[in-house]
Amino acid sequence: MEPIINVEYITIFSSELYKIVFILVPVLVSVALVVWLDRRIWGAVQKRKGPNVVGPFGLLQTVADALKYIFKEIIIPASSDKAIFILAPVVTMTLALVAWAVIPFSNELVLADINVGILYLFAVSSLGVYGIIMGGWASNSKYPFLGAIRSAAQMVSYEVSLGIIIINVLLCVGSLNLKDIVNAQQDLWYVIPLFPMFVVFFISALAETNRPPFDLPEAEAELVSGYQTEYSGMMYAMFWLGEYANILLMCAMGSILFLGGWLPPLDVYPINIIPAPIWMILKILFLFFLFALVKAIVPRYRYDQLMRLGWKIFLPFSLFYLVLTASFLFYFDKLPTKLF
């Protein structure tokens, strides 16, 4: 007779539980640091100092901000749909954090090594639009609603080209597992053969995370601050944390797909003794640096130009490059027939 409670399952569960904490806490801390970094880079580009008062170099600025948000009153508009209004920031935050489960930081250091890792990441990032739509609709107010509609259209449009870019990489790898994708780049990072796709990926990631120059959902000149207008206190902070966690996630995705994940740039002595997770973090930070630079130096797009870029330029171009990659791999007999 089978035991009612499988002891093995409980041990697996408890041994996995601390891993979840060990991945969530660093992500949250790095989100706080990254917000500070973003503001510092932004300031440096504009010849300002940026936050430099709280803590050493202003490192604790985000903590101070978060404390302020916690002690502020949460105001729920009377005419709002209360359940969905409260659920929206929770959804944003949860989805931004839940995706980190599959991100590999080295060959061993991964929480869930699943077969369809990249599809999981793509699915979670495509679910991210719901936090915004829910927040915008539930506020029952014009500007949040307009912001939500804009954002939904924008994210759905750029997801299409993002999907095709991912297919480009998958064609070269032959597996949906994130570890396999990184290990396939042992000889050559995909940023070199697929450089145009890397550029398109980077711009699509900007649009997907509603970062400037594509921050139309919260264009303050037109829409107050878009879907976040009615939010205050901790709920606003959750939107904000979720947004930055999503940006970091996109950077991680970019470094896995194109920059060889945890692999060192050259497999020679002084470089390859640096542990793998450090490389992964350095690459994420490099991509984030680019994100922050773009925020500081590029003006906001007009909405019709944004849509045109997504549908009329990126989609045909990435489809064309897909055909090119497939034909190249087929002609030179480089198709990955080895099954992982």
Partner 1 sequence: MLAHTFFFYFFSIISVGSALMVITSRNTVHAVFFLILDFISIGCLFIMIGAEFLGMIMLIVYVGAVAVLFLFVVMMLNVAEQKQSWFRGREKSAHIPVGLIVSIIILAEVLVVVGGWKYKSNFIKTEMLAVDGNLTNTHMLGNVLYTQYIHLFQVAGVILLLAMIGAIVLTYTKRQGVKTQSYFTQLSREKKTSIKLVEVDSNKGVKIDG
Interface of this chain with partner 1, residues 38 to 97, rule: CB under 8 A = 81, 84
- Dist. CA 283–CA 71, nearest whole Å: 36
Q: How far is the CB of 303 from partner 1 (least distance, A)?
A: 12
Cβ 102 vs Cβ 141: under 8 Å: no
- Dist. CA 275–CA 35, nearest whole Å: 25
123 part of the interface to partner 1, by CB under 8 A = yes
Q: How far is the CB of 99 from partner 1 (least distance, A)?
A: 12
137 part of the interface to partner 1, by CB under 8 A = yes
**CB of 137 or CB of 288, closer to partner 1:** 137
7 part of the interface to partner 1, by CB under 8 A = no
At position 80, the amino acid (one-letter code) is: S
Out of 129, 184, 200, 249, point to the residue binding partner 1 (CB under 8 A). 129
- Dist. CA 242–CA 87, nearest whole Å: 13
- Dist. CA 306–CA 139, nearest whole Å: 26
- Dist. CA 233–CA 229, nearest whole Å: 12
126 part of the interface to partner 1, by CB under 8 A = yes
185 by DSSP, 3-state: which? coil
Stretch that binds partner 1, among 39-47, 144-152, 278-286, 316-324 (CB under 8 A): 144-152
**CB of 156 or CB of 298, closer to partner 1:** 156
Query: Residue 201: in which H helix or E strand, if any?
Result: helix 195-208
262 part of the interface to partner 1, by CB under 8 A = no
Taking Cα atoms as reference points, which of 336, 68, 320 lies closest to residue 200? 320
329 part of the interface to partner 1, by CB under 8 A = no
Q: How far is the CB of 270 from partner 1 (least distance, A)?
A: 38
Binders of partner 1: how many residues, by CB under 8 A? Answer: 36
Sign, Cα dihedral of 43, 49, 51, 52: positive
Nearest 5°: CA angle at 209, between 208 and 210?
A: 95
Out of 30, 61, 175, 204, point to the residue binding partner 1 (CB under 8 A). 175
Out of 41, 101, 133, 280, point to the residue binding partner 1 (CB under 8 A). 133
159 part of the interface to partner 1, by CB under 8 A = yes
Q: What is the DSSP letter of 214?
A: S
106: left (phi over 0), alpha (psi -120 to 50) or beta: beta
Which residues in this chain contact partner 1 in the complex, by CB under 8 A? 2, 4-6, 9, 13, 81, 84, 114-116, 119-120, 122-123, 126-127, 129-130, 133-134, 137, 145, 149, 152-153, 156, 159, 163, 175-177, 304, 308, 339-340
